[in-house]
Amino acid sequence: MTSVPVSVSASASASATKTTQNVFDVGKYETVLRTVETGTESNLPIPPPQQLLIAMPSEAGEFPLLVFVHGYLLSNSFYSQLIQHIASHGFIVIAPKLYTVAGPCATVDIDSTVATTNWLPKGLNYLLPPQVQPNMKKLGLAGHSRGGKAAFALVLEKAATSLKFSALIGIDPVDGLGKGLQTPPPVLTYVPHSFDLDMPAMVIGTELGEIGNTLLFCVTLPAPAPKGVNHEDFFNECRKPACHFFVKDYGHCDMLDDDIELLVGIAINVMCKSGKSREPMRRFVGGIVVAFMKAYLLDDNNDLMAIRDGQETTPVELKTIEFLE
**Which residues are known to be catalytic?**
145, 172, 252
Helix (H/G/I), strand (E/B), else coil: 2: strand
Peptide bond into 241 cis (omega under 30): yes
Question: Are 10 and 315 in contact, with CB atoms under 8 Å apart?
Answer: yes
Question: Are 52 and 36 in contact, with CB atoms under 8 Å apart?
Answer: yes
d(Cα 196, Cα 245) in Å, to the nearest integer?
21
Question: Are 66 and 289 in contact, with CB atoms under 8 Å apart?
Answer: yes
Helix (H/G/I), strand (E/B), else coil: 196: coil
Residues 6+ apart with CB under 8 A from 176: 104, 182, 183, 186, 229
Q: How many CA atoms lie within 13 A of 59 on its CB side?
A: 9
- What are the angstrom distances between the C-alpha of 127 and each of 3, 78, 132, 156? 43, 21, 10, 30
- What are the angstrom distances between the C-alpha of 117 and each of 13, 110, 162, 237? 35, 11, 7, 25
Residues 6+ apart with CB under 8 A from 100: none
Closest CA relative to residue 295, chosen from 172, 169, 171: 169
d(Cα 291, Cα 302) in Å, to the nearest integer?
8
**Cβ count near 220 (within 10 Å):** 10
Question: Are 279 and 25 in contact, with CB atoms under 8 Å apart?
Answer: no
